């Protein structure tokens, strides 16, 4: 996929997320994403595998400057997992722009600003 922008952290203490936890962290430019994240969501193919193995370029979906993708070392999810996490970030996390959901083995699914979609 492409590179994400540097993220913005609030406060001086970084809090670790537990599996299934959601937060609204992401790029400092998240508020400028508009509807491109919804477009990225609509491009996900539920039955496809998305992976970070071997510098895989198919870690998720993107549109404009927004990506919905898996991140971490040696992570793999199905498209349906990306879609479910997107809905959790939006609904359970109440995140309007960027966000992330911790999944198993130190992996995350993120909605974030990126370059080079």
**pLDDT per residue over 47-61, tens digit each?**
999 999 876 578 999
DSSP 22-70: EE--EETTGGG-TTHHHHHHHH--TTSEEE-GGG-S-SEEEETTEEEEE
pLDDT at position 99:
96
pLDDT at position 89:
95
pTM (2 d.p.): 0.81
pLDDT at position 63:
94
Cα Rg, the chain, nearest whole Å:
13
pLDDT at position 23:
92
What is the pLDDT averaged over residues 106-114?
Answer: 95
């Amino acid at each position: 996929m492409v590179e994400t922008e540097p993220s913005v952290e609030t406060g001086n203490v970084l809090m670790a997320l537990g599996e299934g936890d959601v937060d609204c962290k992401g790029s400092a430019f998240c508020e400028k994403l508009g509807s491109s994240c919804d477009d990225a969501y609509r491009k996900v193919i539920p039955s496809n595998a998305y992976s970070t193995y071997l510098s895989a370029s198919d870690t998720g979906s993107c549109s404009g400057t927004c990506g919905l993708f898996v991140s971490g070392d040696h992570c793999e999810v199905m498209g349906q997992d990306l879609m479910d996490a997107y809905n959790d970030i939006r609904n359970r996390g109440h995140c309007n722009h960027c966000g992330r959901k911790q999944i198993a083995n130190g992996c995350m699914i993120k909605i974030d600003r990126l370059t080079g979609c």
